A = this chain, B = another copy of it.
Amino acid sequence: MHLTGFMLFSPAPHTQLSWVYPPEKIRYQWHEVEYWEEIARTLEEGLFDAFFFADAWGGGDRTAIRWAIQFPRHDPLVLIPRLSAVTERLGFAVTMSTTFYPPYMLARKLATLDHITKGRIGWNVVTSINDSEARNFGVELPPHDERYDRADEYLELVDALWGSWEPDAVVMDMEAKVFADPDKVHRIDFAGRWYSSTGPLNVIPSPQGRPVIFQAGSSERGREFAAQWADCVFAVGGTPKRCLAFRNDLEERMQRRGRDPAALQIINFCGPVVARTQAEAEALAAEISERIPAEAAIANMSGHWNMDLTALPPDTRLSALGEIEGTRGMVEAFQATGDPTLAEVARSYLNMASQEAFVGTPEKVADTLQDLFENGGVDGFQFSPQWYAPDYYRDIVDLLIPELRNRGLVRDRYTGVTLRQHLSQTAAD
């Protein structure tokens, strides 16, 4: 079972108002690097595969500012190198948009990061969905499917850049004063429909060669993209049956491309509320759910779904919103429960404290995860903190991980060094 820890470089990840916490328990605030160092050390202690950073470039309306809904959001790319200094094996995955990063820039930053982290970097590929991001860049977003067509071309280009140095090109012969063999460093002269670059990349081959590729889109076009490029796909979840259908669908798409389905890890989003007793966990979950104002949850949905829902009456039905392009998996999960109102959706939107099976003792939550792992074709879990993040992860590592380890479901040591090695570590290793 592979584990990743989800965060935004912000006051709160997905759970609205998770930054509200008894002040006397707060050691560091989210904008201080020590807060992140503590989380990174905790995840490494728990032998997580990676520390995952979501990211986006927009937001900032009045509601978001008031409640800190995915805003502010600092740049995770320049935080990760700092966290690599206090960890030795933990991987890092960073979200970067193919819409806003020029490909040569992205390829170079990730290759450099792979050197700095000594092979521990992954890239979560997003195409960006939010108009407020586009407005910050003074551009308009291409339509959804075209963004993926562009992303395909983008990946071809950055892949070519990462391959522009042959693995043995660097010689550094002090005697002959030859740095590298010019016959083994190649221009790529890529000229696509949307992107072009001559290369070669100005970074020597990095420990992993290329970063591990993460992806999370669940649309038809997003799945095609994942089947082509992803090493690891994030899924929203649901029942084991629903998870298995998702896996089967992705595997078929991979096979059609001649890719080995075993090369893909599917990681489910989760955010369990774990405590020593069931009563304690339920009290905590109730407190979390109560704290979330519907207004804040609706603002969060607005950002993810790229629709301003804040002006609509809270009793608006989901069906009245028409086509929602953003985070299809989530929308579908809500639609499957009937045709709820915005207020009803808001109550449970990304609020894992509202999901009974994820609230309880270590044994109970381990049962839930084990069921998805064994019967849902799920390879692992992406945790999202439900309260002050350093303490949330502390509890997961102190309470839940030992239970998973007792069951032989998670590693008891890192056998590899790079993130790619962690993700391919199996129970047999």
Which residues does A use to contact B, with CB under 8 Å?
9, 11, 17, 19-23, 29, 31-33, 57-60, 62-63, 65-68, 71-75, 77-82, 84-86, 100-102, 104-105, 108-109, 111-113, 115-116, 132, 135-138, 172, 174, 177-182, 185, 187, 195-204, 291, 293
Q: Is the CB of A62 within 8 A of B112?
A: no
Given known contacts A75-B108, A116-B79, A59 and B202 CB-to-CB distance under 8 angstroms:
yes
Cα distance A58–B187 when bound, in Å? 12
- Cross-chain contact B197 with A74 (CB below 8 angstroms): no
Q: Is the CB of B199 within 8 A of A102?
A: no
Closest to A190 in B: B138
Within 8 Å by CB of A66, from B31, B82, B182, lies B182
Decide: B199 and A112 in contact? CB cutoff 8 A.
no
Return chain B residues, CB-CB under 8 Å to A181.
65
> Contacting A182 at CB < 8 Å: which of B17, B62, B179, B202?
B62
Are B74 and A203 touching (Cβ within 8 A)?
A: yes
Q: Is the CB of B23 within 8 A of A174?
A: yes
Contact B66–A112 (Cβ < 8 Å): no
Copies of this chain: 2
A138/B202 contact (C-beta < 8 A), A81-B78, A179-B66 known: no
Closest B residue, CB atoms, query A132: B198
What 4 pairs between A and B have smallest CB-CB spacing?
Answer: A68-B179, A138-B196, A62-B182, A75-B112
Chain B residues within an 8 Å CB radius of A72: 180, 201-204
Contact of A197 among B66, B137, B200 (CB under 8 A): B137
Whether B9 pairs with A180 at a CB distance below 8 angstroms is no
Residues of B within 8 A of A78 (CB): 77-78, 80-81, 109, 112-113, 116
Contact A198 B17 (CB under 8 A): no
Whole-angstrom distance from the CB of A182 to the nearest CB of chain B? 4
- Nearest CB of B to A226, in Å: 26
Q: How far is the CB of A362 from chain B (nearest CB, A)?
A: 29
Known contacts: A75-B108, A77-B78, A78-B78. The answer to whether A137 contacts B102 by CB under 8 A is yes
- Asked if residues B198 and A136 are in contact (CB atoms below 8 Å), the reply is yes
Query: How far in angstroms is the closest Cβ of chain B from A107?
Result: 10
What are 12 inter-chain pairs, A to B, with CB distance below 8 A?
A: A11-B179, A23-B174, A57-B105, A63-B182, A68-B180, A71-B202, A72-B204, A85-B86, A100-B102, A101-B105, A135-B197, A136-B198
Q: Are A74 and B104 CB-contacts (below 8 A) given A11-B179, A67-B177, A135-B198? A: no
Note all chain B residues with C-beta closer than 8 A to A19: 172, 179
A75, A79, A202: most-surrounded residue (chain B CB, <10 A): A202
